[in-house]
Amino acid sequence: MTRPTILCDSASPPEEHAREAEARLQALRKAVALGQADIDAGRYVTFKSTKEIRAYFKNLLRLTTSTV
């Protein structure tokens, strides 16, 4: 934690911390559920090597940054 975060955290009531923690936990649970749904539906890619992973992301970057 940075000093400003610590100072800000110490000024907030415990109830606010609990609400924020619960909100973060709920967001994490939602993200996990979405990821699991994708896996269950077969929406994932498997790789056999680091080279394949790099090539995949290099191509993805090329596709997303190319101009039309």
Tokens 């596709």 locate to: 63
Q: How many CA atoms does the CB half-sphere of 9 hold within 13 Å?
A: 10
Q: What is the pLDDT of residues 34-43, one digit of tens each?
A: 999 999 999 9
Question: ∠ CA(32), CA(34), CA(35), 5° rounding?
Answer: 65
pLDDT surpasses 70 at 3: no
Q: What is the pLDDT of residues 7-63, one digit of tens each?
A: 565 667 888 999 999 999 999 999 999 999 999 999 999 999 999 999 999 999 999
pLDDT given at position 18: 92
pLDDT surpasses 60 at 65: yes
CA pair distance 27, 15, nearest whole angstrom: 18
Residue 57 corresponds to which tokens in the numbers above? 């992301």
Contact 9/17 with Cβ under 8 angstroms? yes
Q: What's the predicted TM-score (pTM) here?
A: 0.57
